[in-house]
Chain A
Amino acid sequence: MSFLTLFIIIPALTVIGILLCKKHMQVKWTAVVGMGLQLILAIGLIFLFLAERRSGNMDEILFIQDNVWYQTLNIHFFIGVDGVSVAMIGLTALVVFAGIFASWDIADLPREFFTSLILLASGVFGFFISLDLFTMFLFYELAVIPMYLLIGIWGSGPRHYSAMKLTLMLMGGSALILLGILGLYFNSAPDGGPLTFDLIQISKIQIPVDAQLFFFPLLFVGFGVLGALFPFHTWSPDGHASAPTAVSMLHAGVLMKLGGYGCYRVAVFLLPEAAHQLGWIFLILATIGVIYGALGAVWQKDLKYINAYSSVSHCALVLFAILIFNETAMNGAIMQMISHGIMTALFFALIGMIYGRTHTRYINEMGGLMKVMPFLAVAYVIAGLASLGLPGFSGFVAEMTIFVGAFQKIGTFYRVATIIAASSIVVTAVYILRVVGILLLGKITNPEYETITDAKWYDKISVVALIFGITLIGLAPLWLSDMITGGLGPIMQKLLAVAPILN
């Protein structure tokens, strides 16, 4: 048995532990211990993985475990990791850990809240480690459904509307994914023999091009909905605006990455011919998304909306990079997912903390917060600078990898798309600095704010953990980029087999 199973067992045990707790404090500390262990485990996984690779173990997938759990349909509990999923697991563990601390203040029904939150997290972990399409889908649903409760019960504003909208749109997406997965399943044995959901096995065979052309759009759009593909992104602003802090963090930080990861791991990896033929359509959508999200953010007045649109822009960049189909850009896409995950989680955490103190999210109603809450304000500036791609933070590394990679792709179409996408860095600077200027700098506009307090210890843990993440990647990106590149071999092989002059 592989120790990866622990990534599901620990959250499960934590949930049981939380359900047994009686007091608020016990609930929180159980959650902290559970997710702390998870974080340690994730860091351990990174080190173990790197050690295995250094010792010359070049298997495509490491730490494999394979159990059959439904013989009739040949469904397996098949788990294992490569460089990409290790990175994603690290991201998830960090964001969940920070999220627990960011929701320290939760007052009503804390037990139920943390249960749903950790349930969601376990879904995400399960998604990233599983290599069986059906199991993967199962975990995907497990991650999406608690979201409804979390927003509907603990949210703010028009929470029922947002929760319903978000869940319905994501469910629509998963319906497409299910169709796509079934399509893969029934095409998984073209020469006869048992059908399989096994991702690795499917990747080794040639799926008929007709089937690919039919199922690729289903899968890509299905995952793309979660990855905020234009024009299926509208759940994101409303959902984020209504969600409680930790949920926004997890959702933007991790759940949206399920979309990007799915596009990468399932849609493009398993259906390369179709990806090659149809990729340009989605590339146009992604390019629109990049610039559209950024420009949309400029006009917003609600902090969460600004950040939601910024997420749309950044996540569209992930899809953009995936669709370039070369190794550098693909690497950049994965790094962008990680970078954006931590960065946006930091943003939402800070917005939640600011909102908890000022009770408004409208930037025009605030001002001069730097004076009264220097810690949060400085953290917000750091998050902002990271988001606009300043060197030294993770965003720069990811974006530059994407742009350099994308520009290597031959063809005026791709060049123009790259330059349009790259111009988003200017727009990003505009809306970030606009917020920083209005919100944090200047004089204190509302005398009531003179008395509000700065971050508490638990806020600080959450913020510092995330800032540590972005600066670590920003200052020393080489290990991460090498780890990811190591995992890109199989997909690049498949793509190169389709069109030899991709690079």
Chain B
Amino acid sequence: MFEGVPLTWFLITGTIMFFIGIYGFLVRKNLITILMSTELILNSVNINFVAFNKILYPDHLEGMFFTIFIIAVAAAEASVAIAIIINIYRRLVNIDVEKMNEMKY
């Protein structure tokens, strides 16, 4: 299916996704968006895993396993994170991350 697509392309896609995720994580104020940015970062990693696995070591399956593992963990993490966000929203009626500075000096 991917025959002929060089590894670099995958990596470039992954890197772009990763930095979009980072950018979103650092810049967006909405907690949900930040959560989505984390998902982006995770998925960029997934792409890298799969690509490396398929192209460099086609006989092995570790990269696939890792990807599935990450997807599972990400799902769990997303549900926990959304639960936290809902709780914060209930308490503060707000999900702006800049308002959440209780832990400062």
Given a CB threshold of 8 Å, the question of whether A touches B is answered with no
Please list the residues of chain B having a beta carbon within 8 angstroms of any beta carbon in chain A: none
Please list the residues of chain A having a beta carbon within 8 angstroms of any beta carbon in chain B: none
